[in-house]
């Protein structure tokens, strides 16, 4: 009989305690995610800006008559690595708005690795542009009258 008596909640640890704890927990997760993800999104934006500038440089070099077939091929691969990095960053940032928010440690690590791969591939494109430009400037252009004789 004694065990059937309801125990009064003298500390008021009911639903309000659980709600306060859960909101505190979500604030901690949000602040951790901001610290992890903000530099990640900034890095991705910088890579996308660099990609645009590289595209402009290739267009200018092509317009001046430089053969840019190799840099364009490498640029296509770089575009694929950038899109992979975009997906990885999106996965990492989705941890904030998911049904079960959690710190994005693993997702952030994968996103940083994808961004580093994209950065390396863009660096390869820049190197290819430099090589193509140097080759174009080292080969002397044929005179107009030499082209007509052949």
Count of C-beta atoms within a 10 Å radius of residue 85: 26
Select from 104, 89, 91, 90 the least CA-distant residue to 29.
Answer: 104
Digit-coded pLDDT (tens) for 61-93: 999 999 999 999 999 999 999 999 999 998 888
> Which pLDDT band, with edges at 50, 70 and 90, does 38 fall under?
confident
Digit-coded pLDDT (tens) for 122-147: 999 999 999 998 888 776 555 444 54
- Give the residue with greater pLDDT, 4 vs 52: 52
Give the predicted TM-score (pTM) of the model. Answer: 0.68
Please report, for the chain, the start and end positions of each structural domain, with discontinuous segments joined by +.
Answer: 37-138
Tell me phi and psi for residue 102, to 5 degrees.
-150, 160
Summary mean pLDDT of the chain? 78
């Amino acid at each position: 009989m004694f065990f059937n008596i309801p125990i009064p909640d003298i500390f008021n640890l009911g639903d309000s305690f659980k709600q306060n704890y859960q909101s505190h927990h979500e604030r901690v997760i949000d602040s951790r995610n901001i610290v992890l993800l903000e530099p990640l999104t900034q890095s991705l934006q910088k890579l996308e800006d660099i990609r645009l500038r590289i595209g402009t440089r290739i267009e200018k070099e092509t317009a001046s008559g430089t053969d840019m077939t190799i840099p364009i091929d490498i640029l296509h691969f770089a575009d694929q690595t950038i899109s992979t990095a975009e997906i990885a960053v999106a996965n990492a940032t989705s941890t904030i708005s998911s049904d079960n928010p959690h710190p994005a440690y693993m997702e952030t690590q994968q996103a940083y690795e994808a961004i580093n791969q994209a950065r390396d591939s863009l660096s390869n494109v820049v190197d290819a542009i430099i090589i193509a430009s140097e080759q174009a400037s080292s080969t002397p252009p044929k005179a107009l009258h030499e082209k007509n004789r052949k």
